[in-house]
Structure 1
Amino acid sequence: MPLTFTLDPAVTPELRDGLLDLWADVTNAGGAVGFVAPATREDIRPELVRSLARLAQGHSRLLVGHDDEGRVAATAFLTFNTHRLTGHWLWLYTVMVHPKHQGLGHGRDLLAAAAESARGIDGIDAIRLGCRSGLGLERFYTSCGYREVGRVPDAIRVAPDEYRDDVTMLLTLR
């Protein structure tokens, strides 16, 4: 069943709780979304509050995918640059698809919906995102049209003596 994507949905308590559940489930399934398992909703809540504050201030836009039962199944934040020289591209943060929906093409659908949303924003020519090496994410993003444009070796520490590269990917929209 395809997901239904909505850009800039109303942030209700149900949506907020759905985002927390999604973030915790993705993290605890091994997803590279800013935390390392195990993580609880309470661990994640402060970061979600910061993300929602950027949304309320107009610094970000939220793209949410719901499954056929209305549950939050995928999400990404499209975040604007504030510097005048980098305002022509935006960041894609917190790109997540619920583990039970992975492997069904929903990640590609999410990235396509994000690109379509970005194309609808005046002056946006590209999307950048960061990902953690070691999980095959670079191959996935490359298969979706992104290209690697930067890499910082060992920039992400996921455990004592366990490091990953911070990889920057770019999708040109023009």
Structure 2
Amino acid sequence: MPLTFTLDPAVTPELRDGILDLWVDVSDVGGAVGFVPPVTREDIRPVLLKHFALMAEGQVRLLVGHDEDGRVAATAFLTLNTHRLMTHWLWLYTVMVHPRHQGKGYGRDLLAAAADAARGIDGIEAIRLTCRGGVGLERFYGSCGYKEVGRVPDAIRVAPGDDRDDVIMLLPLN
């Protein structure tokens, strides 16, 4: 059954807790979403609260996918660019699909919903994202239409002696 996507849902305690649980579960299976396992809700909570603050300021939009049971199953944050010469594209951050739903095509669905959401924002012509090299994400995003446009070698330190490339990807929306 497909996910139901909502752009800019009301931030309720249930939504907050659902995103925290998703982020912990994705991180703990090695998902490249800003943390290294093991993590707790308390590790992630300050980062999520910063996202919520930026949402309240109108700088960030939240896309949430709920599964058939109404649980948060996927998220992506669309961050508007504040540089006056770069307002024609936005960043896509914290792209997550719950491990229990991976392999069902929901990642592709999430990226398609994010592209549709971005197309609905006046003046947006492209989406940029970065991903951690070494885990196959470049291939996945590439299969969804994104092109690698840059790479910073060894920019992400996962652990001492384990540095990964920061890969920059772009999806034109035209």
The superposition leaves residues 77-132 of structure 1 with CA deviations (integer Å, 9 ceiling, x where unpaired) of 00001111000000000000000000000000000000000001110000000000
CA distance in 1, matches of 2:23, 2:32: 10
Instruction: After TM superposition, give the deviation of residue 43 of structure 1 in Å.
Output: 0.4
Aligned equivalent of 2:78: 78
Q: Which amino acid aligns with 1:71?
A: R
Structure-2 residue corresponding to 1:165: 165
Please tell me the residue identity of whatever aligns with 1:75. Answer: T
Q: What are the Cα deviations for residues 21-40 of structure 1, in whole angstroms up to 9, with x where unaligned? A: 00000000110000000011
Aligned AA for 1:90? L
- What is the aligned partner in structure 2 of residue 110 from structure 1? 110
Unmatched segments (≥5 aa) in structure 2: none
| Residue 146 (structure 2) aligns with | 146
Q: How does 1:59-70 map to 2 (within 5 A)?
A: 59-70=59-70
Tell me, in whole angstroms, the C-alpha distance in 2 between the residues paired with 1:8 and 1:43.
Answer: 24
- The one-letter code matched in structure 1 to 2:52 is L
- Residue equivalent to 1:131: 131
Q: Identify unmatched segments of 5+ residues in structure 1.
A: none
**1:42 corresponds to 2:45:** no
Matched, 1:12 2:35: no
CA RMSD between the two structures: 0.4
Aligned length: 174
Q: TM-score, normalised by structure 1?
A: 0.99
Specify the code of the residue in structure 2 equivalent to 1:142. Answer: G
What SS does structure 2 have at the residue aligned with 1:122? coil
Counterparts of 2:148 and 2:72 in 1: how far apart (Å)?
Answer: 29
SS of the counterpart of 1:68? coil
Matching residue's letter, 2:25: D
Alpha-carbon distance in structure 1 between the residues aligned to 2:169 and 2:97: 18
